[in-house]
Amino acid sequence: MSIKEQAELVKLASPIMAGSSEEQRNKALMAIVKALEEHKNEIFAANKEDLEQAVKDGVAAPIIKRLKFDETKLKDVIAGINDLIGLKDPLFQKQMKRQLDEGMILVRETCPIGVIGVIFEARPDALIQISSLCIKSGNCVILKGGSETINSNRVLFQIIYDAVRKSGMPENCMLQLEARSEISELLTCNAYVDLLIPRGSNSFVQYIMDNTKIPVMGHADGICHIYVDKEADLDKAVPIIIDAKTQYASACNAVETLLIHQEVLDTFIPKLYSALKENNVTLRGSEQIVHLTGCSESSEKDNYTEYLDLILSAKEVNSVDEAIEHINYFGSHHTDCIITENDDTAEYFMKYVDSAGVYQNCSTRFADGYRYGFGAEVGISTSKIHARGPVGLEGLVSYKYKLYGSGNIVDDYAKGKRQFHFKDLI
Amino acid sequence: MSIKEQAELVKLASPIMAGSSEEQRNKALMAIVKALEEHKNEIFAANKEDLEQAVKDGVAAPIIKRLKFDETKLKDVIAGINDLIGLKDPLFQKQMKRQLDEGMILVRETCPIGVIGVIFEARPDALIQISSLCIKSGNCVILKGGSETINSNRVLFQIIYDAVRKSGMPENCMLQLEARSEISELLTCNAYVDLLIPRGSNSFVQYIMDNTKIPVMGHADGICHIYVDKEADLDKAVPIIIDAKTQYASACNAVETLLIHQEVLDTFIPKLYSALKENNVTLRGSEQIVHLTGCSESSEKDNYTEYLDLILSAKEVNSVDEAIEHINYFGSHHTDCIITENDDTAEYFMKYVDSAGVYQNCSTRFADGYRYGFGAEVGISTSKIHARGPVGLEGLVSYKYKLYGSGNIVDDYAKGKRQFHFKDLI
């Protein structure tokens, strides 16, 4: 069967999945927990094969750490699924109940999106988290994980799929793709896939966005800024900047560009520069900053660059407005922070910066579903259509309008025989 | 200036528009009301030119009625704007306020989408409604109206724009395109336009969806169904079907296909057929229905067809499940109705039919923002991403996450020095 034919079967299963009760979906999640525990040795064995291959391929140590799936990670994902089971049902929630006229009641109720396609990095725990979020939200899911964990993915998918099936979910509620070549076929399945969530490098996400008619949720660039205001507490600023740059430099929410108010530049830059050097961060500065520190000079291109590395660009600005303009023009609308003790300036910055996350006095690295208390996330969206920022369960549901009538026709209202009497009941 | 350059200016104005207060936006709406009243004779004169041209061009009478803008329509749109002024501010609404840990508060607050492009049919009142909805929701707007009302549009836009500017809104908060050729340039402005709302024929909307990277909200087809259940009150069914087909046959929410439970077919069809004939509706039926009525026979193609005309196709089904399957497979996920007195069957139908509107015992023609009590609508969406169904103010906003910290860094949490303590404050 082609991917398209398989995707159609998933689509056909989606209304059944959408009608499943909270109890059924939680039962499926419990079955996953049980199955993961029972089959953990199979999982660890498959993961060992992946790790051995990665070592053979000369994959770097920090990446290998991400590929690894051990007792600790198993414990973490199981805790995550148990949290998810405890969360309020995202489906069948009445967002509105309105009487339109006597004998006619309109209800807006949440429902799943349908079929979600997720293309994600090589991380076995991601497969488990994404599947669980989709099941809890009543969505069918098509998964394509990174090829470096192909053995782990295959075993995990089979375990999860069997558990979900045994707990009564429809045959085609989940599908796993394995070959990279299958992605391009998936991109043509706009008739069957309601939403695509690509995770990975900028160029990969951009490629997906440019080559499909399926709505895409996610982000390509993560060019985050920190603006150090003239009323900043400079002792707070340094550790925040170091954390935002070094805590995980290749993350999308790491800071790339620093904007510093002219009035504090002379005092702040020496302090910052020595901290950056201590943490092996290379600074690229404007002419003034080069003059003050002796760092290398930045160019226009730095304004647009997501380094994903221990590099930081910095320039001075004359006002909060100039900082806002720079961020809105060069940024990627992901997460941007102001360091200031003046709460009015902070509110002003937060109002006019057009980003999914606008922060005061804390690290941009907090932009994450887990840290926001969403339990887990399927990704971070920089779009303003549908979900924005870290996306948890709520971003995986839509709603439908249910209208309960008693023989009502529009012509009566068009001719003025009857009038609407709107009355909210909840 | 090219359309792209003009669209960039609109984009640059969007953060200023986004920061405008409720008072400023309502003031702008009041200024529009005043200006429309003061300049009504100019508007009527321009509209007269359009109508004369339409008559010359041999435009059909019902269409001319739609082009017309007179005292009655002016009164209606002014009442609409006044309603809008009274509606709760859609911006700066806190959807969440959560303490993540001591000294760190996360707020989710609504904000405008940014720049909305709306391409709409020749109807002067539509221009006014769309502009007002965008202003109330703090969005910049790029308008392209139908060319049959080019004179009315030009005058109306100028009046609205001047009023909005005088009340303090930024210079480039609104833009009007006039030439049809400018649409293709607009479609390339994905860097500057956040959302496109095309209204019009299926083929036009489909063309837009296929030729832009800008997210599109709307619907191409409107293939709506009515299913007459075995427990239907047949006396309710006939007027509902007649209304859904004839009240405005070319509307997207008119019914196209009737599904009738086998058990009531013999009793129901003669009753229905005479009512259809009385209302000049042509029936295309399955073999059984042809046998019972002598109507013309339907083909597979009828299942996919939005007639936009006084034509209705009908076939028998053996169960509610067969009806649901037909609707999910052939429908356009717009609005579908069940006629039944059995509320359990209705709930079952509403749960498993995957459409923006699922109705019991009333006409599909109710699918409309005004009839849902939204004041007005910018369009009807069949997408499950972002807004679904009739879209009012709520569909024109996004949100941002504001995080208020006090020097917090992620490394403290990663190293276990601190733990999150999530606590919802609203």
- Residue B415, pLDDT score: 94
CB contact under 8 A, A360 and B405: yes
CB contact under 8 A, A354 and B18: yes
Put simply, the chain A residues between 302 and 361 with a CB less than 8 A from any chain B CB are: 324, 328, 346, 350-361
Q: Does A419 contact B at CB distance below 8 Å?
A: no
User: What does residue B371 show for φ and ψ, rounded to 5 degrees?
Assistant: -70, -20
Cβ contacts of B236 on chain A, cutoff 8 Å: 406-407
> What is the C-alpha separation between A277 and A271, in angstroms, rounded?
10
CB contact under 8 A, A388 and B405: no
- Residue A258, pLDDT score: 98
**Contact present, B3 and B182 (Cβ < 8 Å):** yes
Q: Does A413 contact B at CB distance below 8 Å?
A: yes
- Residue B63, pLDDT score: 82
Q: Does A399 contact B at CB distance below 8 Å?
A: yes
Greater pLDDT, A59 or A286: A286
Q: Does B94 contact A at CB distance below 8 Å?
A: no
Which residue, among B263, B256, B233, B258, has the nearest Cα to A407 in the 3D structure? Answer: B233
Cite the beta strand spans of B288-396 per DSSP E.
296-297, 311-317, 335-339, 357-362, 379-381, 389-391
Q: Predicted confidence band at A79 (pLDDT cuts at 50, 70, 90)?
A: very high
| A15 to chain B, closest Cα gap in Å | 5
Percent of chain A with pLDDT over 90: 89
Of A104, A247, A390, the CB nearest to B414: A247
Mean pLDDT of A88-114: 96
When computed from its CA atoms, the radius of gyration of chain A, rounded to whole angstroms, is 25
Of B239, B385, B389, the CB nearest to A386: B385
- Residue B257, pLDDT score: 98
Mean pLDDT taken over chain A: 95
Q: Does B14 contact A at CB distance below 8 Å?
A: yes
Given a cut of 80, whether residue B62 has pLDDT beyond it is: no
Given a cut of 80, whether residue A17 has pLDDT beyond it is: yes
CB contact under 8 A, A373 and B194: no
- Residue A273, pLDDT score: 97
Of B240, B354, B410, the CB nearest to A407: B240
Cβ contacts of A401 on chain B, cutoff 8 Å: 356-358, 367, 372, 388-390
Tokens for A117? 């396609």
Among B212, B403, B406, the residue to mutate for chain A (most A Cβ within 10 A)? B403
- Residue A350, pLDDT score: 97
- Residue A219, pLDDT score: 86
Give me the sign of the Cα torsion angle A368, B424, B90, A328: negative
Q: Predicted confidence band at A37 (pLDDT cuts at 50, 70, 90)?
A: very high
pLDDT tens digit sequence for B136-150: 999 999 999 999 999
Starting at the edge strand found earlier in the chain, the sheet holding A140-144 runs A174-177, A140-144, A115-119, A195-198
Mean pLDDT of A164-177: 97
Given a cut of 90, whether residue A405 has pLDDT beyond it is: yes
Q: Does B239 contact A at CB distance below 8 Å?
A: yes
Give me the sign of the Cα torsion angle A326, A329, A330, A334: positive
Here the ipTM equals: 0.93
Which residue, among A127, A149, A145, has the nearest Cα to A63 in the 3D structure? Answer: A149
Tokens for B363? 């006409």
CB contact under 8 A, B114 and A384: yes
Q: Does A106 contact B at CB distance below 8 Å?
A: yes
pLDDT tens digit sequence for A145-157: 999 999 999 999 9
pLDDT tens digit sequence for A264-284: 999 999 999 999 999 999 999
- Residue A202, pLDDT score: 85
Mean pLDDT of A342-350: 98
- Residue A402, pLDDT score: 96
Q: How many CA atoms lie within 13 A of A218 on its CB side?
A: 29
Distances (CA, A) of B318 to A337, B313, B321: 61, 17, 8
Q: Predicted confidence band at B416 (pLDDT cuts at 50, 70, 90)?
A: very high
Q: Does A137 contact B at CB distance below 8 Å?
A: no
Mean pLDDT of B102-107: 96
Least confident of A15-29, B56-70, B314-328: B56-70
Of A240, A385, A409, the CB nearest to B409: A240
Q: In a 10 Å sphere around its CB, with 0-12 CB exposed, 13-18 middle and 19+ buried, how is residue A205 labelled?
A: buried
Percent of chain B with pLDDT over 70: 100
Of A16, A399, A402, the CB nearest to B388: A399
Q: Does B363 contact A at CB distance below 8 Å?
A: yes
**pTM to 2 decimal places:** 0.92
Of B244, B384, B404, the CB nearest to A398: B384
Q: Does B86 contact A at CB distance below 8 Å?
A: no
> What is the C-alpha separation between A292 and B94, in angstroms, rounded?
43
CB contact under 8 A, B98 and A366: no
CB contact under 8 A, B410 and A365: yes
Distances (CA, A) of B141 to A39, A41, A113, B110, B215: 56, 58, 28, 18, 15
Among A94, A384, A418, the residue to mutate for chain B (most B Cβ within 10 A)? A384
Given a cut of 80, whether residue A256 has pLDDT beyond it is: yes
Q: Does B400 contact A at CB distance below 8 Å?
A: yes
- Residue B11, pLDDT score: 96
Question: Which chain B residue's Cα is nearest to A372?
Answer: B100
pLDDT tens digit sequence for B31-55: 999 999 999 999 999 999 999 999 9
Given a cut of 80, whether residue B151 has pLDDT beyond it is: yes
Given a cut of 90, whether residue A62 has pLDDT beyond it is: no
pLDDT tens digit sequence for B174-219: 999 998 889 999 999 999 999 999 998 888 899 998 899 999 998 8
- How would you classify the pairing of strands B224-228 and B255-261? parallel
CB contact under 8 A, A14 and B354: yes
CB contact under 8 A, B353 and A15: yes
pLDDT tens digit sequence for B208-263: 988 999 999 988 889 999 999 999 999 999 999 999 999 999 899 999 999 999 99
Given a cut of 80, whether residue A32 has pLDDT beyond it is: yes
**Contact present, A94 and A108 (Cβ < 8 Å):** yes
- Residue A64, pLDDT score: 87
**Contact present, B259 and B317 (Cβ < 8 Å):** yes
Question: Which chain A residue's Cα is nearest to B403?
Answer: A359
Mean pLDDT taken over chain B: 95
